[in-house]
Each structure stands twice: as structure tokens, then as C-alpha cells.
Structure 1
């Protein structure tokens, strides 16, 4: 199970197991109920966090050697205190609302206990990183007067800190937890039910049947399967263990070394969180932070996500060419059409979800709820239908169907425990910023360190996101970095004459938070893949990061050229001369052109990094390929060097240069290198 790898979950037998199952099932049913029932947001957040903390202490042991088959007495006590502290807001909501800023002694005592237990729950479910970060931010609130001048503030008393973090919606019950309770749970539950219905296995089989015969086929199947799984999964580690169990052994079978087989799966699984509609749950939080619609977020993320996946297919192809690998004989593959038909019903809920979000413009929670009902219907119906077709017992099939439904509801809640805890704990960072004005102080610090240069700000932010992401889940990492550095990117960009849309800055920190999952030395997805591949986790992570380097350039590109995220070019130098008029965005030919140029730039960068472009690429060819990338993504750099007025004039020559290099290597001369080269 994914949660075992992510947090070492406890699975007690007997009464303890039934208690966890009852809590998980109750949580899922509660979230389904509130999805269609008008109820105060704060009350929902309170109950949501109560369930998360209760399961966090019961389902996750305090340390590695702690009992895993029963609950120690102290876990029961912490469970009651943690859940009670969160539920206190629900039980006393009216009284707290009537005395804003005037907490009682019992409010403060319970607040202190809840904050401490939240940090402990974060340590158990997510590791020490978020606990340390949350503790440091709380300490900063109190010790503000003793900080260096650039970071100093008046300080806040324990009463003021607890009131702000616990009794208002500025701290742990803030926007991140609201999104977790309103949207994220339903989408995670949708993914868990779809997986239980058999969609995960179907996606793998379909990708394998369609792509297995091509060069490096199993690796390309891993990319496709992880992309499909990533559409409905919020975890790169869950993607890795779900698809990797099947694809990694197949990649090794056709000749991929263990480290490279694991690395392909890691790169594909981490990129799964870039794919709409879920995007590792960050799509909903981005929408809430920016006050824009969910549809606007996924629209902006669409071209970068798809271009990144297309480039990963190309990277896998290049690796297969370098290794001289072939595909699997067609006779050994399942028939494509029969495989597609066998599980086409799994695509109906996904299509329904996208239709209700994009066409009907329903709220994410209502769209997810409707999709969940459809998946539930599939789970209940498919086994009896198959039983009738095979003339087997319908009663037994129906019993198995309801068992699948029950397990899907329980698994969805268990998957949500780390996310619910993470969003609440990350609220401490958001609360610290609103309480102390830390954001403005960090802006001054970064401005001094970067000397006002936007490129240095971006590099600093990228490195910080990678470091934090090594110990934080993607959602928590995004919340922390979006609170601290995304506004700084926007403000310093403006100071440098570069208009950076807020969504571009938020996507920037989100992308680098994702890349942390395969970045050594922590890289949790790399450890999961190496366990399956029986490879060195550090080597697997390094190789995976090499494959993902083409994704690392994307955030820099859409900061400097917002056309790639379908925001009208508001500065000179966009892909198209007419980009100053936002109406061009509605032109499908313009969007197709954008996608073509983005993919071309990504392919060129991948060839330069991999050293293979229709044969081995010498150093001069790599330099030319990098010039193609600059010409397509950042033509302003070239126009400034040559003193030309219109920078987009470099776009067409850059594209032509890539074609010429391809024709030169492919047709005008025999490709270099000892291995045969095929497309």
C-alpha cells in the first residue's frame, strides 16, 4: 500500500483494526455528506482535522519499534486529546465567535495542546521536516524582538499566538485546510475508489498493449500509465508503487539497467502530479490562494504538463536508442482493441469529471461527488455483470462488489491522513506571515541577497523548494513556498520591469516542489522505485533527476514567457507577434502552435542533456540545441545581444535550426555512434 511506504502505517488486528476502519469509513461518509449539504466551512474544517488527528495517532506509530498490532495507551490518549482539541472549535463555535480576540483560559490551554499534537502528528505521518518548520515559525512569532534587524518584529505573546493560530481562520484552520476539507478529500477518494474498481491495472495494461512493441516499449508504457494514474492520484509515491510494480520488471526484462528502470518510473510518477485534473491537490489550493477559478488553474497548467510528458516519452526513446534496445514482440502483447474495450467503462467517470468541470463549470466538490457516485455504481455493477456473463453466482459477486466499495472508502480516508495533517500544519506558516508581517521582511532579505536580479531570485526559490520538498509532501511544500516566495517573485519581477502573473509564480514553486520527490539524498519516490527495481536509491534518484531536468526548465520559461501558460503575452517577445491581444488565446491554431514550439524546445533540451539526437550528439551540436531552446523559449536574450527590436523574429530561425539538425543527422549523413537509430 502507498501509505505504508509514505509513513509506515500501522495495521492492528482485532478491535484496534476495527476502530481504524470505523473512523476511516465515517470520515469518507462525512465528506460525502457535506459535499451536498450546506454547512459552515469552519465547522467542516474542525471535524475534518479531528478525523485526521485521530487516525494520525492511531494508524501511525510514534517510532519504528513501536507496537504495530495494537495501540499503546499513550497513542489512545493523544488520539483523544488531538481529536478533542480540533473538535472543540465545532462544539464552541458560537461562543468563540462572540468573543473574538478575547480567548478564555481553556481556549489557550486546549490551543497549546492541539498545536503541539498537530506537530507530533505531522512528524508521525510525514517525517520530521514539517514539524521542524512549523516549530521554527512558531518560535519566530514569540522571539521576534531577538531576531536580526532584517527579520525582527515586536513579538507576540503565547495568548496572541494561540488565538491567531487556533481560534481564527488565519492559522491551522485557514485556506489550506479548507481546500483539503472541501475539494482534496473528494478527489483522493475518487482516485482510491477508481483504483479499487480496477482502473489502475487497466491503465497499465492499456499503455503496455499500445506502446510495448515500440523501442523501449515498457518504459514508454510506464510513462503513459503514470500519466493516466497521476490524473486521479495525489501522490508521486502512490504512482510509483502502483504502476512500478508492473512496469519496472518489464523494463529490466527488455534491457534497462535497474537504476534506469527505477528512474524512468520515478520521473513518470513525479510528473503525474503535474497533470490536471488533480495536480497533487495543489490545483485547488492555487485557486483558493489566488482567488481564481479551478478551471483557470488547470488551463494554465495544461500545455506545460502535456509538453513535459511528451518530452519524457522522448527522453525514454533516446535512452532506449543509446542502449540499443528493441520493443516486445507483438505476439507477446495483449490485443490493443480488446484491452481498450475490457475497461472502457473506467474512462467514463474521468470523462464525466472533466466534462462537469470544464463544460458545465460545476464546482470541483460537486463534480468530484458526481464522479464518485459514478465510480460507486461501476464498482457495484461490474462484478455481477461479469458473473452473469460467465454464469457464476451473482450473490457472491454482489457481496464482493460491496466489499470493494467498502475498501475503497476506507483506503480513501487513509490516504488523506498525511494530506489533512500537512495542510493544517502548513497553516502555521501562513499564520506566521499574517501575524508578524514576515513576507515583507523576507522580501527585503531576498532582495539584498539577489541584488534585485530576478534570475537569482528564481534560482534561490527553486533551490529552496527542492530542499524543503525533500522532507515535505508536495502539497505542504507548495503552501510553504507559495506563502513565502511566490509573492516575492511577483514583486521583484515588477521591480525589474518584468510583469510576472501570480499564477506563473505559484506554478513555479509547485513544479520544483514536485521535483524534490526524485532529488537525492531524500527523494522518497526514488526510494520506493529502488525497492522494486532492487537498485541503489541514490543512483536511481540522480538518474531520475537527470530525466526530469527537462521539466526543471519549464518553470523558468513560463515566468519569462507567459504564453506557454495561455496568458496573453503582455510584453514584447512572446511567441506570436499578435500576443498583445488576448483574443489570440481563443484561436486553436495559436494554441497548437504554442504546443508545437514548447514540445520542440523540450525535445531539443532533452537531446542536449542526453547527448543523443538521431545519433550521438557532439559538443557543438549540444550547444546548437541549447540555442534552439533559448530561441524558442526566451528569444529576448538573443534580441538584446544583437540589438534587434522584435525578439520573436528569433523563434522561426530557432525552429528551423532544430529541423535542419534533425535532417542532417537523419537523412543527409549517416548517424554517428555504434548503435542503430530508429524512430
Structure 2
């Protein structure tokens, strides 16, 4: 048992848990027979998805339609029309029962989603010329989908989708810069609801075939207790070092990111332990919460499981998923390494030490206590990296291993403690079914986000793609640097109201081709993978961007710190992540593009880490002691040299294949900064000792 004392769960933790429940898909909590309705549908959805990799062979359109039908049904049963009763109309804000109206809407929405397979043969023969029933079902599906997205995700995505729909009809009446020939109702309905170019497009296909299984795998790990195990393991390993609780929070959040796939759920899982401990050793509440926010947000960056967007990147770029993992590896791990460095800087600034060994769980005992949680994770990695199975088959096999572990875990503990085995088996089975229901609930927001974003993708496919590239070219005045800044800011703004996956889909549809094209016009060869990862990174960073970053609100509730100040501090920590996409756009070595040598890859990674450390020192005002103002530009030079050796080599007239020799310049400058600060560090340390003696 851990010796860690956990503070009593307070109102702040409850607020954070409510935010996590909302993101997890827990809206209503009906009573009576209705309380079994939503979990039953959720379990059926999970069983259907589990049957697809091995036992059921269906056309991909059928899979997408059934997937969407389950999601829509759960939304209308689970979320009321309004969160609070307005004008005394409690019927539309019921949380304790499911009104008849929402039951009818659930059935209607599910049938509208299934309409494409109910009359599949007829629809395929009259594509482009829908009959009256096609129009009614199609328009109904669009409206019900946008309303379901509003109930689940909030108003931002439905609003953006509605603007694109309006634009598709009003294009001819727009100013010349954004004028568009427009579309007819028949063509719009055909594109959106009768083909795989709109709602039933690639994003929904990835959600239905791959993402669901990974989310289900994470839900099973979570229900089995892996999240708590990971944070205890991180504490046992790092808790005694300088700023140990912060470093444990970072490591624990990175590991828990494999389980939850959600920034807020990550914060609630790890933050309830780590934030009080960070405060206990001396971190101010705002910095403790911000550290947890930065760590939990970046959990979605860590390969091999990077959330839904990573699988969609693989489909859009048309590469195996393992190539996305390879491309994301160096930036993600360099970002986490820099966050460890920032936690060390903050501990040095505040004079914070680690926790006493007596208050930490013993490492080997902790490691062995949950080693069975690592088996399915290693199984998943083996399937993805060594055997090279498809992501859905790899997740399927890992799920079965996890199910066996869950089935045996409780009986083993009962046998060990000399308790009856029957109740333990019953508890294990209940846990498995709870995980199946939880996995489906977690998927609702992803399914709705991918389907609703499909409307935007569909409108772009109607012929807006080239026009959008021209508009972006005009706004950026043909300057690729300005265009990247515009894209980053747009991603942060849009991402304030959208899930990461939806933000990525919207921005990638609008800007990724433009980044490649405009870069090409200016002589920069930008790999398509780099453009998509750029959108992905800034979609994730929106999670803690003030004033709407929900991750910051969740952490602030636990730490009892101001949410806006927490978000700003978290964003300051995450600037070290924001710099990476700008670097790998122009230096594709950072995403290991055309890099196949392990030694070359390791060299690039190490230099990227040191470059990110230098950037962290510049932005945090500290290296081994407080920076002098004139040292900050030197740290930025180190960052640029170590992340853009190609540009330095070009300026020096060196051949491109000799570019890595310029790393020596950056390392020498970094070493010089260390030697310059070392005497001041000793002086400051001596002053602190004298003050402590006094």
C-alpha cells in the first residue's frame, strides 16, 4: 500500500470530476428501469465494434452508418436539450429521467443515420438525383447531427458547420474574394448523406474502425486500475528528486495518456494525487495546476497511441499508422523532456526539494504490484511495431489480453486475501461490462465530432478547396511564415470550443494543402505529414489556451487556483511545444522524414531535446541560475542552431549532407552559457546558505 497521504476529496475535485464526466459522456443519471437503457445500448455498441476485426464482414459504409446510429441514440438519451431549465421548462432539462421526446429523437436520429443502408441499392443508383424521401432523411440527419453535436460538444462545431452549409448555398452572393459558384439542395444532400464524401467520410470511418477499439482499450485499463498504478509508479521513481512531485506528475500523465486519451480525464486521474503533493512541497497553486495541465495536454502527443487524430492523419496522408508514430516520436518526446526540464527550473527557482523517501511507495514493490497492466500495453506495441498488424487488429488482440487480466485480477486478490472467489468473479464481470459501457460513452464525443466535421470536409470537397488555398494565399500575402502563424492562431481559437480531433479535421481540411502548396511556391518542400502534424499540434495546444481551456479549469478546481491564471501559466509551459511545429515544417529531419538510420534518428532527437531545453531556459528566465537579459537571445540562437542545422549549413555554404556538423556550434554556445552562469550559480547558492544559517 502507498504511504502517500491523499487530501480529502473536496469541492474542487468534484468540479473537476464533473468536467471529466461530461467529457466522458455521462450526462443524465436516470432512475428506475431507464438507468439500464443507456449502458445496455453502450455495451451493445462495444460488442458490435469488437466483432468487426474478426467475426463480422461488412461494407465500410454499413459500419460507418451503424457506428453513427449508436452514437446519436446515446446522445439523445443521455443529454437533455438544455443543461438548466429555462422559463420554468424542466421537461427539456431532465437529468433524472429520459423524456419521451428524447426517446423519439433517439430513434429518429438512429434511423436517419441508418437510412443510407436501409435503401443502399436505391441510393447508389440515384446519387445526385435524390427523391423526396432521400431529401427528408438527409436534411433530418444533418439537423439532428448538428443538434447532437451541440448537446455533446457545445455550440462551436455546429455553428462552424452551419456557417459552411450557409456558405455552400450563398457562395454566388459573396464578395469577389470569397465568391463561390454555390450548390443545389440535391447536390448538397447527395454529397453529405448519400456518399462517403461528407458525413460518412474518412474521419467517421477511422472513428468506427480504429479509434473505438483504442478508446475501449483505454477504458478497460482505467477500470482495472492502471491509471492509479501509473501515477504511483511515477512517484516511486521520481518523487525523491528536486521537484519530484512535478516530475512524477509529468511522467504519470504521459503514461496515463495511454489510458485516457483525454486531457481532463488525465488531470482528474493524476491531478488529485500530484497537485496536492506539489503544493505540499512548495509549488504555488497556479504553477502546480499548470504543470499538471501541460503534462496532461501533451499526453495526446505521445506515441504510439496519440488519440483519434493520429489515425485520421494516416488516412489523409495515405501512409501506415506506424509512419505517423515515427514522424511524431522526436517532437513528442523532445516536448516531454523539455517539460521535465521546466519542472526542474521551477523547483530551482523556488528552492524545492523532493519528498522524503518515507512518504513514497517503494519502487520495486510498486512495479511488481501492477506489472500485469504492462502486459497488454507491450502486446499492443508488439502488434503495432514488430508484427505490423493493422491498428484495429492490434487493439483487438490487446483488448482480449486486457479482458483476461480483468477477469482474473479480482479472483486472484480474493484468493490472496483468503476471501470467497464467487463474489470476486462477479465483480470482475461487472467491471468488464462497466468498461464496455464506459468505452462507448467515451466514444460518443469522438464519433459526433468526426461526423459533424465531415460536413465541413464535404463542403470543402464541393469545390472550395482551391478557393480556400487562394484566400489563405491572399491573407498571408504569399508568405509561408505568416500563413503558419495564421494557421496556428486559427487552430488555437477554433480549438477553444472543439475537441482536438474536430479541430484537426477542420484545420487540416482547410490549411494542410495550402501549407504544402504555398511552401512549394516559395521553394520550401513541406512534406504533407509535416503540414498535418502542424494542425494536430496546435489543435492539442488549444486545450489549455485561455480563456476557454477546459483542462485549465479542471486543474484549477483541484488546486483552488484562478482558472485564467492557470491557463496562462500552462500555456507559458507549453510554448516549448508550440515552437516544434514551426521547426519541423522547415526541417523535416525532426519528423524523421527520409531518415532510416537509428544513429541519425537518435542524434536528431538528442539535439532537439537540447534545443528545446535552451528554448525553455529563454522563456522561463532560468538555466542553472537566473538569466541576464542579454543571455536570452543566445539561448534562442542555440535553439535555432540545434533545430535548424540545415539553415545554418546553408548560410555557411556547407553541403546539405554535412549539416549535422553545425550542431557543434550550438553545443559550444550552450556550453559557454553554462560556464558563464556557473559562477553566479555558486554565488547565489552561497547567499542562500548564509540566509538559511541566519
Is the TM value for this pair above 0.5?
yes
Match of 1:582 in 2: none
- 1:403 and 2:413 correspond: no
Match of 1:64 in 2: 83
Match of 2:644 in 1: 634
**Higher mean C-alpha displacement, 146-155 vs 532-541:** 146-155
Aligned pairs for 1:146-225 within 5 A: 146-225=173-252
Counterpart-to-counterpart distance in 1, 2:391 and 2:646: 39
**Higher mean C-alpha displacement, 663-672 vs 592-601:** 663-672
Counterpart-to-counterpart distance in 2, 1:285 and 1:544: 27
8 Å contact 2:26–2:441 — kept in the other structure?
Answer: no
Match of 2:51 in 1: 33
- 1:531 and 2:557 correspond: yes
**Higher mean C-alpha displacement, 1-10 vs 66-75:** 1-10
- 1:651 and 2:666 correspond: no
Counterpart-to-counterpart distance in 2, 1:317 and 1:250: 16
Cα distance, 1:341 vs structure 2: 0.4
Match of 2:610 in 1: 600
1:465-506: per-residue Cα shift (whole Å, max 9, x none)?
000100000000000011000110000000000000000000
8 Å contact 1:442–1:484 — kept in the other structure?
Answer: yes
Aligned pairs for 1:166-565 within 5 A: 166-435=193-462, 437-565=463-591
Counterpart-to-counterpart distance in 2, 1:51 and 1:299: 33
8 Å contact 2:128–2:186 — kept in the other structure?
Answer: no
Q: SS of the residue aligned with 2:260?
A: coil
Match of 1:567 in 2: 593
8 Å contact 2:624–2:681 — kept in the other structure?
Answer: no
Counterpart-to-counterpart distance in 2, 1:157 and 1:280: 36
8 Å contact 1:357–1:364 — kept in the other structure?
Answer: yes
Equivalent of 2:145 in 110, 113, 118: 118
Cα distance, 1:651 vs structure 2: 2.4
8 Å contact 2:625–2:681 — kept in the other structure?
Answer: no
1:256-310: per-residue Cα shift (whole Å, max 9, x none)?
1111111011100110000112212111100011111001000110111111111
Counterpart-to-counterpart distance in 1, 2:80 and 2:148: 10
| Pairs aligned (count) | 659
Counterpart-to-counterpart distance in 1, 2:578 and 2:149: 28
Counterpart-to-counterpart distance in 2, 1:675 and 1:113: 70
Q: SS of the residue aligned with 2:389?
A: coil
Counterpart-to-counterpart distance in 2, 1:208 and 1:644: 47
Counterpart-to-counterpart distance in 1, 2:466 and 2:51: 41
- 1:4 and 2:21 correspond: yes
Q: SS of the residue aligned with 1:232?
A: helix
Counterpart-to-counterpart distance in 1, 2:273 and 2:443: 25
Equivalent of 1:661 in 666, 673, 692: 673
8 Å contact 1:322–1:675 — kept in the other structure?
Answer: no
Unmatched tracts of structure 1, length 5 or more: 569-584
8 Å contact 1:56–1:125 — kept in the other structure?
Answer: yes
C-alpha change, 1:463 and 1:315, in structure 2 (3 Å) is same
8 Å contact 2:587–2:646 — kept in the other structure?
Answer: no
Cα distance, 1:331 vs structure 2: 1.2
**Higher mean C-alpha displacement, 655-664 vs 161-170:** 655-664
Cα distance, 1:359 vs structure 2: 0.6
Counterpart-to-counterpart distance in 1, 2:668 and 2:499: 41
1:612-646: per-residue Cα shift (whole Å, max 9, x none)?
11011111111111110111112455566667776
- Report the RMSD for the aligned CA atoms in angstroms: 1.6
Match of 1:85 in 2: 112
1:415-452: per-residue Cα shift (whole Å, max 9, x none)?
011111000000011100111x2121111111112121
Match of 2:63 in 1: 44
Cα distance, 1:162 vs structure 2: 1.1
- 1:670 and 2:682 correspond: yes
Unmatched tracts of structure 2, length 5 or more: 1-16, 85-92, 690-694
1:54-88: per-residue Cα shift (whole Å, max 9, x none)?
11111112212111111123222221111110011
**Higher mean C-alpha displacement, 42-51 vs 7-16:** 7-16
C-alpha change, 1:266 and 1:668, in structure 2 (3 Å) is closer
- 1:54 and 2:73 correspond: yes
Counterpart-to-counterpart distance in 1, 2:471 and 2:243: 48
**Higher mean C-alpha displacement, 372-381 vs 654-663:** 654-663
8 Å contact 1:151–1:438 — kept in the other structure?
Answer: no
Cα distance, 1:457 vs structure 2: 0.8
Cα distance, 1:112 vs structure 2: 0.6
Q: SS of the residue aligned with 1:670?
A: helix
1:33-74: per-residue Cα shift (whole Å, max 9, x none)?
112122111001111000100111111122121111111232
- 1:13 and 2:26 correspond: no
Cα distance, 1:586 vs structure 2: 3.1
8 Å contact 1:3–1:414 — kept in the other structure?
Answer: no
Q: SS of the residue aligned with 2:97?
A: coil
**Higher mean C-alpha displacement, 48-57 vs 276-285:** 276-285
